[in-house]
Amino acid sequence: MGARRSLKHKEFPPNLYRQESGYFYYRNPENGKIKGLGRDRAAAFQSARSANAALANLTKCDLVAWVSGVEQYSLSDWLDKYIDLWTEKKKPTPGTLATAKRYMTRIKKADFAWMQVKDVTTRHIADFLSDFERSSTASVTLNLRARLHDAFEWAQNFGLTETGKNPVSSTIIPDYEVKRERLSLEQFLLIREQVSPSAANGMNLALLTGQRIGDIVKLKFGDYRDGYLFIRQTKTGHKLQQDGRIRLAALGMSIEDVIRQCRGRVISKHIIHHMRSSGTYKAGGKLSSSGLSTAFSTGLIAAGIKASEGKTPPTFHEIRSLAERLYKKEYGQEFAQSIMGHKHAKMTAEYDDLRGSGWAVVTVK
């Protein structure tokens, strides 16, 4: 029940108030949020009546819902249930789950989050995404839109919205242009000449395995056994078993070659490690992702490599894209997808179902 209205507001439409200065404002009874309506009495009264009519038409969780057997949720409450259901089914990695939860937190702050799921319209979503893009980036907005779309897809499955009417589907997809320039093999070789032996090993391993920087720095010599390099992708959770004989003619090395090259005079369990002590790190300790990334960027500058107009210079991550292109050229599309660990890779990556290990075996033909 709302607060008792004062005598001076008695003739006002419900939820409409006026400050001492004469400024009218409307308080949403569902979430307590306030919206200013100016000093025009007639316009404020009309806006308040329209808002109250909209509130009256919103679906309530009442006896009808109970009889129909369909539990009703506000969008905020549904997002909590959705993330639990999605986590149980998809089993995302900790990093992916943390990102999804951050999106959920942001969506729950929307003005319409208190509304029941079936009452949320495309206009609500479109305005929200537009506001979000102004304070963020197109790429992040795309990911937020995808997460919101998936949440409503799941809502349809539970009968919370009408089948085939996802309010996110009709919203305009934000324009997104990748501004980071691609890395060429020639640039890769030039940068490699400018970095330390440890960073050069990291670059070679990244190119031959096609893996992300976080997975490269965590690899240990113990991960290479029986002629195969065993990789657990942090981002996707995929498990790859790469044949050490896999070779890139463009680089003139195999996976086994680069691992052998990483074994130096310093004893270390990490494949990519510091070869001498300096400052805060010790010989044999693993290079951090930031350390390897910084070394790459410093080498890029030393090599005199500049981005084209309107583009940003390539980062260490572009080695992964270069690897895919080189493997595609030398071995074909399917093999390239397999060694990268792409979800849609076909039978070039033979899943070891007989032993139930789940390792995708990528081997030379």
Catalytic residues: 212, 235, 317, 320, 342, 351
Question: Do 339 and 246 touch, CB atoms closer than 8 A?
Answer: yes
Quote the tokens at residue 13: 């439409």
Backbone angles phi and psi of 270, in degrees to 5:
-95, 135
Helix, strand or coil, per DSSP, at residue 230? strand
Q: End-to-end alpha-carbon separation of the chain, Å? A: 73
Strands laid side by side in the 24-27 sheet: 16-18, 24-27, 34-38
Instruction: Tell me which DSSP letter residue 24 carries.
Output: E
Contacts of 261 (CB under 8 A, 6+ apart): 201, 204, 253
The letter for the amino acid at 119 is: D
DSSP string of 248-275, one letter each residue: ETTTTEEHHHHHHHH--SS--SBSSB-S
CA gap 87, 363 in Å, rounded: 32
DSSP string of 92-133, one letter each residue: --HHHHHHHHHHHHHHTTSTTTTSBGGG--HHHHHHHHHHHH
Radius of gyration of the chain (CA): 28
Question: Do 318 and 180 touch, CB atoms closer than 8 A?
Answer: yes
